[in-house]
Structure 1
């Protein structure tokens, strides 16, 4: 399966770039520079021309690897500065440098040793269990050795810090986060956030503060985590407000969590249609029990999404959550479901992809 190359170029460069992309084993995709956040984050390589750089500079796209400046001749100094700000480390002039471009794209395509990702857990309906599953995924990732950011965007929920028993630990909450220039330092963020474990930092809302989450803050934190090599796990609400939309646009995988009931199937279809539009990758997770005998595969067929995991409830889990010491065994049904989700965004899986 070819990697995707995002081309933000004028039409006169397209034919030369398409030829080089094919030679290096890429599938070329195009987008509007004013609205290209998802392909900007997910494409293996990005080629930009000077005109696109001017647009990207005002759109606040995060720095990333694999950016190459492409021009018909020598790019002006201002374009070089803008390209460097976005992470570019090379520039080519076409058609003279087509061989050089193929070589540069081939180097970018080589397997990456430390890929990063973001996964969001989204409930199809109240009580589906997405918040608990997000905790389980974050704990699984941290215990597997991944530096992990757990971002709780569900302001109507109890709070990930409360479920983890760290609500009294000092550290930043969403309402404390102020951004300068739309960016945040990941090392500083890890230092300032409360930790549930050595490799797991948690960002939740302050329970007594009703200030709405800002979309730019959510995007900046996700970008910081990804850029730092963290696995970012998001606990999302079912609300369609700008912060949730920004979060979904920044994730590699959204896991929709539902129950094996008629109501669960209907809610999952409705939630997917309302929130999960566009090219976001979506999978389904089904939490039992099934009072009517519906199987997880039947639920997935009814919803129209691939089934990633299904699991039965752990009767001991409520007591663990009540005590603020969630014990999630890797061999428990919840632990195995969390491992299945982590396996889709873990470094080994992403390299294989």
Structure 2
């Protein structure tokens, strides 16, 4: 499979880089810094020039490997120092060093550990069950041996930590995480500071008594940290058109819309999808039964305009069990099977872009 090379350079450097990329077996992805966050951790390698380095120093994406600095002259010590902070370990002067750049890019194609993957779940309507499914997906991922970062970004919700029975645990909440101006977060440090529902499941939820809203910068930095550290990230989204929701939708591998098999559920879910999920967003639907009017999952998905990912029936005993304690997933119950399907699908989505 042809690997992707993220190219953040001025136009006059693109032709020699295109020759080098083709010779090394890459497909170029040309972007500007502002629009590169999605590709920064997903592409096999990145090429930057001094202007991009200066812009990235302001944005401060997470450090990654396989970053190359190119320039038409001496980049200068300040530029090189900033490039090192981004993860660069080579600098090439073009066009003189084209053959050396081809060699470096070819060497970078050796197998590597990919970044973590991320999924967001959002209810197509109130009471659709997105929070419960998000918690179930996180638990399934832990059972698969993954380290999971479960993020609840609903300022006004009860909190997914309550669903998992860890609301009283000490640890950071969103309002305690102050990240400003494109700052970064270290993945392991974050896990150490968060409440845990299992050895490999850390939860970041809002503080209920806080009046401050969740900051977009904090959400972006946390997503980037989890990806860089190889985590599976599960995000429970509120049904809202907000900067935080849009930032998450733009960052994850897959958006899963959870809806009931009802006419009202379909109508509301169509609004959510139309507002938040553009043509460049990978989105699929999970349909929860029963269906009072006999709507089938495939019909619900077709009406919403998304592929059908999974269907399951509500468990009448689940609300009572949640009131009595934390959510537990039985693999043979329908919720457990649906969560397992979602886990497998997001893993496939991540492998397709890694």
TM superposition shift of 1:113: 3.2
The alignment status of 1:165 with 2:127, answered yes or no, reads: no
Question: Alpha carbons of 1:340 and 1:20: their partners in 2 closer, same or farther (altered >3 Å)?
Answer: farther
Q: Deviations over 1:49-83 (max 9, x none)?
A: 11111112112322223321122244322221111
- State how 1:230-249 maps to structure 2 within 5 Å: 230-249=231-250
TM superposition shift of 1:36: 2.4
User: 1:94 maps to which residue?
Assistant: 94
Which whole-Å CA distance do the structure 1 matches of 2:133 and 2:210 have between them?
A: 25
TM superposition shift of 1:213: 0.5
User: 2:201 maps to which residue?
Assistant: 200
The question of whether the paired residues in 2 share the 8 Å contact of 1:113 and 1:351 is answered with no
Runs (4+) of structure 1 exceeding 6 A deviation are none
The alignment status of 1:289 with 2:265, answered yes or no, reads: no
Which whole-Å CA distance do the structure 1 matches of 2:200 and 2:348 have between them?
A: 16
Q: TM-score if structure 1 supplies the norm length?
A: 0.92
Question: Alpha carbons of 1:42 and 1:348: their partners in 2 closer, same or farther (altered >3 Å)?
Answer: closer
Q: Deviations over 1:111-136 (max 9, x none)?
A: 43354111111111111111011101
The question of whether the paired residues in 2 share the 8 Å contact of 1:165 and 1:323 is answered with no
User: 1:149 maps to which residue?
Assistant: 149
Which whole-Å CA distance do the structure 2 matches of 1:111 and 1:300 have between them?
A: 38
Which whole-Å CA distance do the structure 2 matches of 1:44 and 1:278 have between them?
A: 24
- State how 1:216-227 maps to structure 2 within 5 Å: 216-227=217-228
SS in 2 for 1:69: strand
Which whole-Å CA distance do the structure 2 matches of 1:46 and 1:116 have between them?
A: 18
The question of whether the paired residues in 2 share the 8 Å contact of 1:248 and 1:280 is answered with yes
User: 1:257 maps to which residue?
Assistant: 258
User: 1:330 maps to which residue?
Assistant: 331
User: 2:105 maps to which residue?
Assistant: 105
User: 2:49 maps to which residue?
Assistant: 49
User: Does 180-189 or 223-232 show the bigger shift?
Assistant: 180-189
TM superposition shift of 1:180: 6.9
User: Does 116-125 or 96-105 show the bigger shift?
Assistant: 96-105
TM superposition shift of 1:195: 0.6
User: 2:229 maps to which residue?
Assistant: 228
SS in 2 for 1:165: coil
Q: TM-score if structure 2 supplies the norm length?
A: 0.92
Q: Deviations over 1:20-52 (max 9, x none)?
A: 222333322222223322232433322111111
Which whole-Å CA distance do the structure 1 matches of 2:201 and 2:341 have between them?
A: 19
User: 2:11 maps to which residue?
Assistant: 11
* Structure 2 portions without partners, runs of 5+: none
The question of whether the paired residues in 2 share the 8 Å contact of 1:174 and 1:213 is answered with yes
User: 1:38 maps to which residue?
Assistant: 38
Which whole-Å CA distance do the structure 2 matches of 1:123 and 1:101 have between them?
A: 47
* Matched length: 353
Which whole-Å CA distance do the structure 1 matches of 2:97 and 2:83 have between them?
A: 18
Which whole-Å CA distance do the structure 1 matches of 2:273 and 2:317 have between them?
A: 31
Question: Alpha carbons of 1:352 and 1:119: their partners in 2 closer, same or farther (altered >3 Å)?
Answer: closer
User: 2:131 maps to which residue?
Assistant: 131
User: 2:308 maps to which residue?
Assistant: 307
SS in 1 for 2:88: coil
TM superposition shift of 1:331: 2.3
User: 1:317 maps to which residue?
Assistant: 318
SS in 1 for 2:167: coil
TM superposition shift of 1:347: 8.3
SS in 2 for 1:287: strand
The question of whether the paired residues in 2 share the 8 Å contact of 1:134 and 1:234 is answered with yes
Which whole-Å CA distance do the structure 2 matches of 1:32 and 1:8 have between them?
A: 6
SS in 1 for 2:306: coil
SS in 1 for 2:82: helix
Which whole-Å CA distance do the structure 2 matches of 1:349 and 1:131 have between them?
A: 22
Which whole-Å CA distance do the structure 2 matches of 1:263 and 1:100 have between them?
A: 61
